[in-house]
Amino acid sequence: MEKVVIIGGGYAGIYALRELVKNKNIKITLIDKHTYHNLQPEVYDLIANNSTFADVTIDLTTLCRGFEHNHLDFKNLKVRKIDRENKKIYTEEQEIVEFDYLIIAAGTRTFFPPTISGLDNADDIKKLHRAISFKQRFEKQLFEKIRDELKQCADTHIVVVGAGLSGVEIAAEMAYYSIKFFKRGNFSCDNLKISIISSSSSILPGLKQDLINISQKRLKDLGINVITNTKLQSIEDNYCTLTNGTKIQHSFVVFTGGIEASTISAEIDVARNSKGQIIVNEYMQTNKYENIFAAGDVAEIRDNKGELMPPSVTIARHSGINAGKNVLNMIKGKALEKCNPKLDGILIALGGKYAAGDIYGILTVKGRLAYEIKKYVFSSYRSPLLKLIKKGYAKLKRH
């Protein structure tokens, strides 16, 4: 029986898995160091108290149980080494997993430039446990503000570094949440400030100008201070220093700068780019080993024109499905299918029930309509997974 292993239970890994289970005669193993699939684009709702931990995660144990496949296992392990020659994966837990075909879908993490001193004190909300920690500390500070409002009313200042999608979304959600919080309680000490720092001349560099304009206006309406054409230089206990010489006081610094591939990508001798992403061909294969594929954010993926695709859920879907299909094609001796990923569009959460979006590069939407479209897109991905984890949960309870 052919053994197929997926490393990473994120978007790309799940899409690959949904293809692989169509073949009931292979052994499939999903490996992830976490027991859950983090629905990362929805974490901002968690921080803003619009959802719970259960709403932004998919349990991988019950998910795998929910598939109708007798040879599917989930292993909660941390990969340490990939032995290509002997087709073995070595883990921190001393368990060895064998494979005939491998799909690496381990994702990325936030890149913290070592040149910025004090950056290790910044919050990284890409990781779910760090996002929850930030949420708890932020709420504790809000409580202390209200408790001490007659004695002192110190500023609470959140500095968001990076004005790409992640930075803009977290800044907007936090601003909206704080406005709603102080209004609901009619608290007098409502001096929470949010600044967002962009190294470019505007927020959301690379996106269409109308999306930038809509987002810029929304941030302004929410009272967010947008600082452009400068970078973070250092973080001290009470203030940030920017490269333009400005010093900003801070209570929290949320860093949403660039990305780098999971360290797992370095565990195999294949071509990688400067971010550590694995360079794949049009079939999602690595350059040296035809039985080893990479998908999602961990891979450098290009369309059929050679244009680099940005890391996103859409590209994770295209590449994950393609990698899964091509593993099955190889097993059956069929020709491989080329992957030509296309962006369906982009949707930006801008606080509360307000969003902005570009649909297929044709239509620009904003406000409640864009929010409802974003909500529908998320639901269409999550709903079938919820059915699977409920089925898997029921199976576990019967044993």
Q: Would you tell me how many other CB atoms lie within 10 Å of the CB of residue 92?
A: 11
- 158 touches 189 (CB < 8 A): no
Per-residue pLDDT for 367 more than 90?
Answer: yes
Over residues 13-69, the pLDDT tens digits come to 999 999 999 999 999 999 999 999 998 877 878 887 888 888 889 999 999 999 999
- Of 8-17, 184-193, 381-390, minimum mean pLDDT range: 184-193
Nearest to 392 by CA among 67, 62, 72, 75: 62
252 or 188: which leads in pLDDT: 252
Which residues does 153 contact at the CB level (< 8 Å), separation at least 6?
A: 145, 188, 189, 191
Angle among Cα 305, 282, 261 to the nearest 5 degrees reads: 100
Per-residue pLDDT for 186 more than 80?
Answer: no
When pLDDT is averaged across residues 292-316 and rounded to a whole number, the result is: 93
Angle among Cα 281, 285, 287 to the nearest 5 degrees reads: 70
Six token digits for residue 88: 């073995």
Handedness of CA 285, 302, 109, 320 (dihedral sign): negative
Confidence (pLDDT) at 399: 61
Per-residue pLDDT for 365 more than 90?
Answer: yes
- Of 2-11, 53-62, 175-184, minimum mean pLDDT range: 175-184
Local confidence band at 95 (pLDDT 50, 70, 90 cut-offs): very high
- Of 70-79, 124-133, 311-320, 342-351, minimum mean pLDDT range: 124-133
Longest dimension (CA), the chain: 75
Confidence (pLDDT) at 343: 84
Nearest to 327 by CA among 108, 107, 105: 105
DSSP structural state of residue 333: T
Per-residue pLDDT for 334 more than 90?
Answer: yes
Per-residue pLDDT for 282 more than 90?
Answer: yes
Alpha-helix residue ranges (DSSP H) falling in the chain: 11-20, 43-47, 60-66, 128-147, 165-185, 209-221, 313-332, 368-398
Confidence (pLDDT) at 50: 80
Confidence (pLDDT) at 161: 95
Confidence (pLDDT) at 150: 65
* Beta-strand relationship, 252-255 and 156-161: parallel
Over residues 221-235, the pLDDT tens digits come to 999 999 999 999 999
Outline where DSSP puts E strands in 218-315: 225-227, 232-235, 239-242, 247-249, 252-255, 259-261, 278-279, 292-294, 299-300
Per-residue pLDDT for 102 more than 90?
Answer: yes
Mean pLDDT of the chain: 91
Confidence (pLDDT) at 131: 87
Set out the domains of the chain in order of their start, with CATH numbers: 3-110+259-343+378-398 (3.50.50.60), 119-255 (3.50.50.60)
Over residues 143-170, the pLDDT tens digits come to 887 787 767 777 788 999 999 999 999 9
pTM of the predicted protein model = 0.92
Confidence (pLDDT) at 153: 73
